[in-house]
Structure 1
Amino acid sequence: MDILETDAYDRRKRRNTSCALFLSLLPFFLSAAVFFYLWTPDSTASITSAGVKSAPTLLLAAVVLSWNGGQSVLGVVGGLLFSAVGDCCLVWPELFLHGMGAFAVAHLLYSFTFLSSRYTAHSSSSSFWTRSLYLILFMVGGGFYVYIYPFLQKAPNSDTLLPAVGVYIVLIVLMGSLAIRTRNVATLLGGLTFMVSDVSLALQVFKVTAPMEHGNALVMVTYYLAQLLIAVGDVNAVKQEDFAKWKSS
């Protein structure tokens, strides 16, 4: 197969993959729409609301598993499953720390995935600008922790919350930094959008800002978008790796 035939095959394969992936994501879009349709500021915590909230994330996990197989169970699929646990926990305010712990595990799994071989081919850790972005992210994370520290001290469980939030910030900034390292556009945007979502959530949960009319919508839109981008980025990374192996064979 010559170069022109290979390029044509590559284009057809990418186009077919994109269409098939979009179709497999339709249940996710539908479940997210159901969540926003049913959710109201006065919604009470219940198993039903937890199920509706976590359904989009669980469906994303199913999509990634169907495309990438078992190799993603300890990666993005695992991260999505722990995120779904976190979704359920955050429905009940008293389970906030449990939810944060579940999301911390999810960020660890994402981070390990972004260091895997399927991302390595396009990653770079030697660029001055890339390293500068890492530094900026960690400085922003540290600055944010300092900013919300007085508000964390006012919380009833501040003794536990203060170190827990500090560790969580380190983990999510690490995840965001490694997402940048992959140079996978979807993954990069997903990692950064996840950080935006969590900043929005923290400002509201810890009462740093006055209650926002559409605060929850902002958190959930950015959250679902982040998970979608991370999931799509992982599927694309595996497909690119498979195609690279095919070309070299």
Structure 2
Amino acid sequence: MDILDTHAYDRRQRRNMSCALLFSLSPFILSTALYFYLWSPDSPASITTAGVKSAPTVLLAAAVLSWNGGQSVLGVAGGLLFSAVGDWCLVWPELFLHGMGAFGVAHLLYSLTFLSGHYAAYSSSSSLWIRCLYLILFMVGGGFYIYIYPFLQKAPDSDLLIPAVGVYIVLIVLMGSLAIRTRHTATLLGSLSFMVSDLSLALQVFKATAPMEHGNAITMVTYYLAQLLIAVGDVKSVENKDDFSKWKRS
């Protein structure tokens, strides 16, 4: 097989993989559409509501597991499952801290994944713009915490919320910073979208802004998009590692 045949074969393989990946993501896409179809501002907190809300993330975790295997339970798939727990908890306001804790674990698992071997080919450089992005993310996180701090003080459980929100911001900013390190576009955009979603949610939950007519839609669209991009980025990173290994052996 000459080099042209090899390139044509690789293109067919990538095209077939993209089709297979899209097919495996179809349950997530359909369940997300179902959530937006059923959701309304008057939706009561119930097991059904929690199930519909968390189902897309569980199905996305199943898709990642089917592609990357059981080891991803300690990586992106595990982060998705903890995110589903967070989705479930946030349906009930009194479980907000539990939900935030679950999402904190998810960010920690994502961060560890972004440091793992199958992202090694995309390790960070010492270039100035990368360092500037790190600095910008931490400044945004710190600035947001300073902005929201007075509103946290007014919350009934402020003694717990103030340190918990601070730790959570550190975790999500760390996750975003490590996503920059991977140099994967989908992973980076997913992490940034996650930060936008959480910022939107925090502004609404802690009443730091005027009520937004489409606040929930903004939060959930950016949230589901974030999870999708992080999952796709993880699957693609494994594919790219395999391609790189084949190239080294050739």
Distance 2:149 2:193 in 1: 23
Distance 1:168 1:120 in 2: 26
Identity of aligned residues (%): 80
Secondary structure, in 3 states, of the residue corresponding to 1:121?
Answer: helix
Give the C-alpha shift of residue 180 in structure 1.
1.1
Give the C-alpha shift of residue 211 in structure 1.
1.1
Distance 1:170 1:2 in 2: 51
Equivalent position amino acid for 1:90 in 2: L
Give the C-alpha shift of residue 2 in structure 1.
4.2
Residue 108 (structure 2) aligns with:
108
Per-residue Cα deviation, 1:137-196 (whole angstroms, up to 9, x for no partner): 001100000000000000000000000000000000000111111110110100000000
Distance 2:7 2:191 in 1: 31
Structure 1 residues 142-161: aligned runs within 5 Å: 142-161=142-161
Residue 218 (structure 2) aligns with:
218
Structure 1 residues 197-208: aligned runs within 5 Å: 197-208=197-208
Residue 21 (structure 2) aligns with:
21
Residue 184 (structure 1) aligns with:
184
Equivalent position amino acid for 1:207 in 2: K
Distance 1:176 1:125 in 2: 16
Is 1:228 paired with 2:231?
no
Matched length: 249
Residue 39 (structure 1) aligns with:
39
Distance 1:122 1:5 in 2: 28
- TM-score when normalising by structure 2: 0.97
Residue 95 (structure 2) aligns with:
95
Residue 127 (structure 2) aligns with:
127
Distance 2:105 2:125 in 1: 24
Distance 1:222 1:153 in 2: 27
> Which runs of 5 or more residues in structure 1 are unaligned?
none
Secondary structure, in 3 states, of the residue corresponding to 2:74?
Answer: coil
- Please report the RMSD computed on the Cα atoms of aligned residues, expressed in angstroms: 0.9
Distance 1:150 1:242 in 2: 49
Equivalent position amino acid for 1:164 in 2: A
